[in-house]
């Protein structure tokens, strides 16, 4: 790898904070990073240390271009944009995010296929080499959820190395690990850097063994200022020049940290003095020796794999993951069977021998429609809130469109199975559902409805930031959809505005279609004169007229076309939603 120098100049970052109550509070700016400059040479590991909340992660995200602040980033003296930097570096997040049910092999096969534009054999060679280097070879077929924290960290690290980045940004790569695992990770990072890369890592409280391994340190004060920046030896000299001598039996990291965190009111002034002193005595003058650093000219790394490749591998991962959640699927299947059976038994005595049965049949038909829509919708709703961290972490790996499509496609098998199971149970239990023609017609309608329910779930899942927001929205939304389904209100009495609102969900069109295919085949219901009811239906067409529903198969075809349009619309809105998530959420 070509030699290079990475510099950062006058980096500043602040956020707006609200003080006081919501009504009479005021906003003020909180400075997280205050005028930070520095440099790093290829081949080096830089540890960023400081007390909790001092801005280590903030600085790392700014240096990696994940967050935008004020200041300039340069490679070999040339300014680089955040986008260009992101495409040439990788960011290892503080917490490991995986599809926990995948095995180590499946996880890295996916990452390698997405990151490398190489043949299967070449990929396998790289994978086995990295597995060996990161001591993960013996865990190839183990599910990720069964790995220890240290093994998970190494696996996350391995995933970051496929793209062969120039710079690796690691947020707390050793936090929560025992001393041995922490040392192993730091040694791996030193090895990675020695191949000509730069590794930045934030560290909370390194052991003396780990601290010994660092050669460059950035120390941050509690208000995001540089207390010290440079080699470990220079740190010792600087602190000693301030009459702060680290006892030989003491962990130097603990010693420095003790002097850069606020424990008493006096400490704030002492830390400010250190900051001031470092600026005066040691601060680097940024006229970098650019001689010898002309080799590397960073370019934006275009994704090498095309749309179809991404869709194929994303769908592969979705289906492998689905295949692993078998217990969940069995549970959902059994619930579907139980619900349908209970409803089937409750309505099993309803026959077309009397007019009053019409109300029950209309009720059952709406129950079938709403059950299916709800089951499919709720199954999809969890998708994005659960996966948003993985999606954001894999931002640079694939485009959002194949990701979204793979999620949509994965819901189709459930739609096929659930709607069929539902109908078979109802046709077995209910005496008024009989012919195979009706079964087929209903299946076609309900399959499309199920897909529509799934895409509505995905859409809501992508639009709202968390499940809590979705839950708040969904109850009034469901009530509105059910009220406008056509069972409880004569559609012609609706105001114009509500006539349009009924089309925002699949309830109305599906219910109307199911009613049409059912009632059009019912020739005779009962003898009206013998029945004391206010509404008398002689045949199925009468029923459809009573509910203001269409009475032709053409209407059903139009409704099916509308369902397809609705599916596309939900997917499109959902896609916009995840584009927004991608832009708003940063690591
Ligand atoms: N969006 C934000 N709005 C308000 N405050 C924020 C925001 N992001 C970060 N902070 C605050 O900025 C400070 C620095 O946060 P940061 O996560 O960088 O700290 P850190 O040094 O990495 O901490 P730790 O070691 O505990 O992970 C913290 O006090 C945090 O609460």
Cα dist. 490→199, 243, 388, 478, 484 in Å?
A: 68, 87, 42, 19, 9
Cα 199 to ligand 1 centre (Å): 21
Nearest to 222 by CA among 274, 181, 152: 274
Rounded to the nearest 10 degrees, the angle between the axes of helix 120-133 and helix 104-115 is 120
Residue of 33, 49, 56 best suited for mutating to test ligand 1, as the one with most atoms within 8 Å of CB: 56
Structure tokens at 82: 């955040």
Global confidence as pTM: 0.79
Please give the pLDDT value at position 424. Answer: 92
Q: What is the pLDDT along the chain (587 residues), one digit of tens a residue?
A: 678 889 999 999 998 877 766 666 677 888 899 989 988 988 999 999 998 889 999 999 999 998 888 999 998 888 898 888 888 899 988 887 889 899 999 999 999 888 887 788 888 888 888 888 788 888 889 999 999 988 898 898 888 888 888 999 999 988 878 888 888 889 989 988 998 899 999 998 888 888 988 889 999 999 899 999 988 888 888 888 888 888 888 888 889 988 888 888 888 888 888 898 888 876 555 455 555 566 566 666 666 778 899 999 999 999 999 888 888 888 888 888 898 899 888 888 887 766 678 888 999 999 999 988 998 898 889 888 888 888 888 887 888 889 989 988 888 888 888 889 889 999 999 888 888 999 999 999 999 999 999 999 999 999 998 889 998 999 999 888 888 888 888 777 777 777 777 788 899 999 999 999 999 988 777 656 555 555 677 888 888 988 889 999 999 999 999 999 999 999 999 999 988 888 777 66
Assigned token pair, 170: 């690691």
Q: Between vectors from CA 276 to CA 270 and to CA 279, what angle results, nearest 5°?
A: 145
The CATH architecture assigned to 5-88+167-184+197-281 reads 3-Layer(aba) Sandwich (3.40)
Is ligand 1 within 6 A of the CB of residue 32? yes
DSSP state of 66: S
Does the beta carbon of 165 lie inside 6 Å of ligand 1?
no
> What digits encode the pLDDT tens for the residues 356-366?
788 889 999 99
Residue 264, pLDDT score:
81
In short, whether 58's Cβ falls inside 6 Å of ligand 1 is: yes
Helices (H), 395-491: 400-410, 412-429, 436-463, 467-483
7 φ/ψ sector (left φ>0, alpha ψ -120 to 50, else beta): beta
* Ligand 1 and 56: CB distance under 6 A: yes
- Measured CA to CA, the distance from residue 246 to residue 208 in angstroms comes to 12
Binding site membership of 176 for ligand 1 (Cβ less than 6 Å): no
Task: Measure 257 CA to ligand 1 centroid, in angstroms.
Answer: 17
pLDDT at position 279: 83
Residues of the chain with CATH 3.40.50.300: 5-88+167-184+197-281
> Which residues on neighbouring strands pair with residue 220, listed in sequence order?
226
DSSP state for residue 142 in the 8-state scheme = S
Residue with tokens 């369902």: 563
By most ligand atoms within 8 Å of CB, the mutation choice from 32, 52, 95, 204 for ligand 1 is 32
Between the alpha carbon of residue 88 and those of residues 396, 404, 520, the distances in Å are 10, 25, 64
- CA dist 366 to 95, 265, 372, 417, Å? 45, 68, 10, 19
**The pLDDT of residue 586:** 66
Q: Whose CA is nearest to atom 31 of ligand 1?
A: 53
Q: How many CB atoms lie within 10 A of CB 326?
A: 10
Whole-number Å distance, alpha carbon 33 to ligand 1 midpoint, is 10
Angle at which helix 149-161 crosses helix 104-115, to 10 degrees, equals 20
Residues 6+ apart with CB under 8 A from 55: 13, 32, 33, 220, 223, 224
Residue 13 CB partners (closer than 8 Å, separation 6+)? 31, 32, 33, 55, 58, 62, 67, 69, 70, 224
Contacts of residue 173, Cβ cutoff 8 Å, sequence gap at least 6: 92, 153, 157, 185, 186, 189, 201
State if residue 52 touches ligand 1 by the CB under 6 angstroms criterion. yes
Q: Whose CA is nearest to atom 29 of ligand 1?
A: 53
Q: Which atom of ligand 1 is nearest to the CA of 32?
A: 12
């Amino acid at each position: 790898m070509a030699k290079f120098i990475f510099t950062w100049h006058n980096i500043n970052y602040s956020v707006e904070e609200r003080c006081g109550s919501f009504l009479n509070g005021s906003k003020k700016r909180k400075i997280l990073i205050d005028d930070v400059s520095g440099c790093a040479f290829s081949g080096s590991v830089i540890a960023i240390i400081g007390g909790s909340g001092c801005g280590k992660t903030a600085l790392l995200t700014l240096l990696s271009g994940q967050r935008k602040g004020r200041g300039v980033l340069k490679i070999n003296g040339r300014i680089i944009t955040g986008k260009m930097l992101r495409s040439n570096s990788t960011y290892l997040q503080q917490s490991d995010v995986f599809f926990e049910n995948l095995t180590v092999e499946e996880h890295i096969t996916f990452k390698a296929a997405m990151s490398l534009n190489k043949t299967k054999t070449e990929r396998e060679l790289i994978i086995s080499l990295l597995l060996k280097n990161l001591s993960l070879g013996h865990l190839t077929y183990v599910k990720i959820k069964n790995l220890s924290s240290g093994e998970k960290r190494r696996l996350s690290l391995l995933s970051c190395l496929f793209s062969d980045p120039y710079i690796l940004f690691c947020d707390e790569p050793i936090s929560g690990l025992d001393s041995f695992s922490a040392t192993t990770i730091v040694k791996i990072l030193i090895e990675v850097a020695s191949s000509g890369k730069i590794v930045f890592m934030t560290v909370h409280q390194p052991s003396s063994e780990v601290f010994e391994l660092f050669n460059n340190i950035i120390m941050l004060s509690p208000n995001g200022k540089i207390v010290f920046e440079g080699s470990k030896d220079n740190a010792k000299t600087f602190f000693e020049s301030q009459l702060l001598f680290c006892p030989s039996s003491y962990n130097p990291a603990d010693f420095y940290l003790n002097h850069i965190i606020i424990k008493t009111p006096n400490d704030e002034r002492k830390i400010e003095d250190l900051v001031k002193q470092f600026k005066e005595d040691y601060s680097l003058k940024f006229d970098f020796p650019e001689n010898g650093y002309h080799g590397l000219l960073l370019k934006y790394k275009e994704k090498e794999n095309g749309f179809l490749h991404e869709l194929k591998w994303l769908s592969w991962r979705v289906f492998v993951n689905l295949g692993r959640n078998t217990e969940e699927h069995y549970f959902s299947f059994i619930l579907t069977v139980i619900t349908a059976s209970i409803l089937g038994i409750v309505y099993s005595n309803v026959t077309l021998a009397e007019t009053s049965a019409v109300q029950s049949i209309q009720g059952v038909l709406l129950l079938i429609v709403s059950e299916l829509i709800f089951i499919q919708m709720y199954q999809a709703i969890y998708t994005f809130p659960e996966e948003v961290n993985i999606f954001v972490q894999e931002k640079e790996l694939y485009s959002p469109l194949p990701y979204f499509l793979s999620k949509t496609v994965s819901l189709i098998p459930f739609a096929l199975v659930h709607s069929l199971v539902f109908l078979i149970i109802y046709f077995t239990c209910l005496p008024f559902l009989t012919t195979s023609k009706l079964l087929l017609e209903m299946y076609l309608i309900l399959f499309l409805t199920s897909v529509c329910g799934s895409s509505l779930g995905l859409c809501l899942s992508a639009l709202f930031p968390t499940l809590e927001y979705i839950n708040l929205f969904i109850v009034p939304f469901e009530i509105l959809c059910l009220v406008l389904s056509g069972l409880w209100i004569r559609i012609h009495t609706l105001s114009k505005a509500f006539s349009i609102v009924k089309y925002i969900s699949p309830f109305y069109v599906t219910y109307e279609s199911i009613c049409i295919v059912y009632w059009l085949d019912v020739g005779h219901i009962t003898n009206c004169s013998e029945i004391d009811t206010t509404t008398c239906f002689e045949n199925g067409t009468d029923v459809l007229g009573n509910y203001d529903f269409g009475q032709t198969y053409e209407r059903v075809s139009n409704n099916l076309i509308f369902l397809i349009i609705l599916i596309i619309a939900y997917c499109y809105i959902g896609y916009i939603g995840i584009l927004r998530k991608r832009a708003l959420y940063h690591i």
